[in-house]
Amino acid sequence: MGQEISQSEFTHRDFDRFGERLHRETAILHDWFRERRFAPNGGVAGFEVEAWLVDRAGQPAPLNQAFLERMADPLVVPELSVFNIELNTPPLSLCGDALRRMHGNLENLWQRCQRVAADLGAAVTLIGILPTLRDTDLTMEHMSEQERYRAINDQILRRRHGRPMQLAIHGAETLHLSHSDVMLEAATTSFQAHLQVAPDQAAAFFNAALALSAPLVAATANSPLLFGKVLWEETRIPLFEQGVDLAGGASADNPAYRRVTFGNDYIRDSLLELFAENLAHYPPLLPVDLSAEPAERLPHLRLHNGTIWRWNRPLLGFEADGAPHLRIEHRVMPAGPSIPDLIANAALYYGLVHALARATPPVTAVLPFALSRANFYAAARDGLRAEVVWLNGRRAPLRQLLLEELLPLARRGLRELEIDAADAEDYLGIIAARVDSGRTGSNWQRCFLARHGPDLNELTLAYLERQRSGKPVHEWAD
């Protein structure tokens, strides 16, 4: 949930001042787009991955404060609940041996995390939703200590007039429940890929990322279970949307302006449209005074953007020389199942988005936005079994589409990026084997339950054992 803040209680005047600064910084951003102030280079990539701390029985372990104190690494930071942490790796130019270096960086950090966790009698696990998690674990007592989280919870509940979150997910089974705070969001852990883009290509890349959300969420699904119920292939999607259920402002009845959203439409010209939408449709949640930071760093605009959880989110950053740059954060993929799987997922995304963003005609001309959105939810619900409508009205099962069209497209994209050919083949080979076999993380979990029965502790410990093997999920035994 982003940067820490220094307060969690606000007055009407705080909101008024924040709104004024947000208007002013959005105007500065508008000038930057008009004056072409952004760094021209793209092709810089990185990611963040959220993880679970679990005890020896596979139960969530509320240890992130002690873990982070022992870890003492700025690349490993807290998440919403005391069961969760977030791992980051340095951004790299997306060429040559970048994928292999990403793998090495994440593997080294992961192994250090495991050693620190072991000293605490725990382990670190990469999985979209922890099978052993219970609704009763998600209490305010298990919220991390950061002021930001408490402030977001307070502000969302204030906007909802204290009404609890209502969860209703219909999948293989059905789950209905009420929850009194935003801690349901802590049940979802993600693998979020970042890509710096050149300003003149940013719209095409963002629209391509939207269209690719469906195949990416299907190919990477790893969250079939919530509170013992088998639900969607990627249950994180409805869980996050319903667990932080808050409408925007002027268009409160339009689901496109929910705080967690697939979006309203493709963008036409630039990412500025999304920041303008932030200003027009999303009242601030955290009206913190950041005026000590120069307005040219857009601190209020960036904080506000961090409280709007689009599945594909625009980001602003800065080069070492202070020049602003643009990034796209692709948020649809879950954590896990293994380190090789994560790098393979990154390779699939980077190759696909690079190729599709440069395709002629553009994706906006051959796939209506409404179909991109419908494809996304169908893929989250049914995974590789989903049937989607692809470019030019072609209707196909996602598994077939990935094998016949999208994997070759991803290979072309990585080739155009001049990624080492052997690395591209190795990582996309993992995707091909996973899709061909149908053995996603979600599929493995469902098959394990079918074979061994409904013991979620046994499932979690078996999952962790196979994750530690370093093998991709398509090679895991039931």
Between 279 and 7, the more confident residue is: 279
Confidence of residue 245 (pLDDT cuts 50, 70, 90): confident
Q: Report the pLDDT averaged over residues 321-329.
A: 97
Round to whole Å and give the CA distance between 75 and 87: 6
Q: Are 15 and 300 in contact (CB under 8 A)?
A: no
- Note the pLDDT of residue 1: 39
pLDDT, tens digit, 9 for 90 and up, residues 83-136 = 999 999 999 999 999 999 999 999 999 999 999 999 999 999 999 999 999 999
Q: Is residue 5 part of a domain?
A: no
* Mean pLDDT of the 243-269 span: 78
> Is residue 367 very low, low, confident or very high in pLDDT (cuts 50, 70, 90)?
very high
Q: Give counts: helices (H), strands (E), the chain.
A: 16, 16
Q: How many CA atoms lie within 13 A of 51 on its CB side?
A: 32
CATH number assigned to the domain comprising residue 201: 3.30.590.20
* Residue 1, in any domain of the structure: no
Residue 82: both structure tokens together: 């005391």
Cβ neighbours of 259 (radius 10 Å): 20
Q: Is residue 6 part of a domain?
A: no
Q: What is the pLDDT of residues 395-408, one digit of tens each?
A: 999 999 999 999 99
Q: What is the mean pLDDT of residues 152-158?
A: 92
Q: Which residues lie below 8 Å from residue 291, measured CB to CB, with a gap of 6+?
A: 21
Check whether 360 has a pLDDT greater than 80: yes
Orientation of helix 202-219 relative to helix 369-382, angle to 10°:
20
**3: pLDDT strictly greater than 90:** no
Does 2 map to a domain? no
All residues at 6 or more sequence positions from 169 whose CB lies less than 8 Å from its CB, including other chains: 175, 226, 229, 231, 232, 235, 238, 239, 242
Please say if the pLDDT value at position 249 is more than 80: no
pLDDT higher than 50, residue 252 = no
Structure tokens belonging to residue 274 = 């999304």
The Cα–Cα gap between 180 and 143 comes to 13
Percentage of the chain exceeding pLDDT 70: 96
Nearest Cα to Cα of residue 117 among 53, 207, 163 = 53
Question: 24 exposed, middle or buried (CB, 10 Å; 0-12, 13-18, 19+)?
Answer: middle
Q: Residue 251 — pLDDT band, cuts 50, 70, 90? A: very low
- Round to whole Å and give the CA distance between 8 and 288: 9
**Whether residue 387 has pLDDT greater than 80:** yes
Give kind and range of the element (H or E) at residue 119: helix 98-119
Nearest-Å Rg of the Cα atoms of the chain is 21
Task: Return d(Cα 23, Cα 284) in angstroms, integer.
Answer: 12
Number of structural domains, the chain? 1
- For residue 404, give its domain range: 12-475
d(CA 442, CA 176): 21
Q: Length of the chain, please? A: 478
DSSP one-letter code for 289: -
- List Cα–Cα distances, 239 to 110, 283, 301, in angstroms: 27, 23, 27
Residue 4 in domain: no
pLDDT score at 35: 96
Asked whether residue 230 carries a pLDDT value surpassing 70, the answer given is yes
Mean per-residue pLDDT for 147-155?
A: 91
Q: Which of 105-114, 140-149, 218-227, 422-431 has the lowest mean pLDDT?
A: 140-149
Confidence class for position 256, pLDDT limits 50, 70, 90? low
The predicted model scores a pTM of 0.96
Question: Please, what is the end-to-end C-alpha distance for the chain in angstroms?
Answer: 35
- Which tens digits make up the pLDDT trace of 184-208? 999 999 999 999 999 999 999 999 9
Residue 3 lies in a domain: no
Angle in degrees, CA 85, 87, 92, rounded to 5: 165
Chain mean pLDDT for the chain: 95
Q: Coil, strand, or helix at residue 47?
A: strand
> What is the pLDDT averaged over residues 256-263?
89
- Is 78 within a domain? yes
pLDDT band at 8 (very low <50, low <70, confident <90, very high): low
Using one digit for the tens of pLDDT, what is the confidence trace for 164-177?
Answer: 999 999 999 999 99
pLDDT digits (tens, 9 = 90+) for 329-357: 999 999 999 999 999 999 999 999 999 99
Strand pairing class (44-54; 92-93): antiparallel
DSSP for residue 233: T
CB 473 within 8 A of CB 339: no
Residue 140 lies in a domain: yes
